[in-house]
Amino acid sequence: FVSKMLVGYSSSSEEENDAVTEATDNVKSPTDDCGRTVSCRLPLPGCLLTMFPEEQDPQTEDRSLHDGRVRSFKHERGNWATYVYFAVHILHNFLFVKITIHLSVSQTVVLRHHWIQPFTQSLRTSLAHCKSFSCSAERLKVYCNAERTRTFLGMEVRSGQAQLLDLVKIVDKRMTEFLLETFYKDPSFHVSLAWCVGDMTTLMNKCINDLQRVVDDGEEGPFLLRLDCSEVRCKTGNKIFRFPLKP
């Protein structure tokens, strides 16, 4: 049942809007007070019309194209959804599908296009002295986003939290410089393994123990997710900036 409800997780933290509407007006020929039809301008030749096509918005608002996801904020030209994270690469029988997951150290914020270069440069400078570390996760936990539009099955980080908190402080300072929202006050660091549309927290918590047993009763023993935190990444729109940490 749970396998049918959950959708394979994607690292894209940017959520999509519900729908896009198109309005079509019925235009009638204007007339003067005497009922005579006013002459209209001749239409432009087709070859001229195709010279200047209307610019298409690259951010498609059709929910069906994004697995039912809903945006946390409305898309506006020049606004880039941005977050800071560690990429997690896993090769294990427990994760039998190919997925991309991440460990977030910031919230998803809206960054103006002209802020991208100074923001990422400030982040790079601040992280230059930070050392790489490792952490691990083994316990499943259910999460729901603030808008209650998506529920996540995550694996909570147990070791390495002190280093993660130190890193969050650095990222938060950069966020504050640009008047952006900082990370959660009492964060639960985790990697999301799967998600489903809507607030399914209650339902998922009813079967979380059964799911944990699946994790613990593997042929190779309890599953332990080891995370190599050696490179911080910042994704803003479709751009990814990489900041290697000191060995």
Annotated catalytic residues are: 102, 190
> Which class for 171: exposed (0-12), middle (13-18), buried (19 or more C-beta within 10 A)?
buried
What letter would DSSP give residue 11? Answer: S
**Residue whose entry in the numeric block shows the structure tokens 């019925």:** 26
Q: Is residue 72 a contact partner of residue 147, using CB atoms and an 8 Å limit?
A: yes
Contacts of 134 (CB under 8 A, 6+ apart): 160, 226, 227, 228, 229
Cα–Cα distance, 154 to 137 (Å, whole number) = 10
Q: Is residue 113 a contact partner of residue 94, using CB atoms and an 8 Å limit?
A: no
**Residue whose entry in the numeric block shows the structure tokens 């002459």:** 39
Cα–Cα distance, 136 to 195 (Å, whole number) = 21
Q: Is residue 241 a contact partner of residue 120, using CB atoms and an 8 Å limit?
A: yes
Cα–Cα distance, 236 to 241 (Å, whole number) = 8
Q: Is residue 82 a contact partner of residue 122, using CB atoms and an 8 Å limit?
A: no
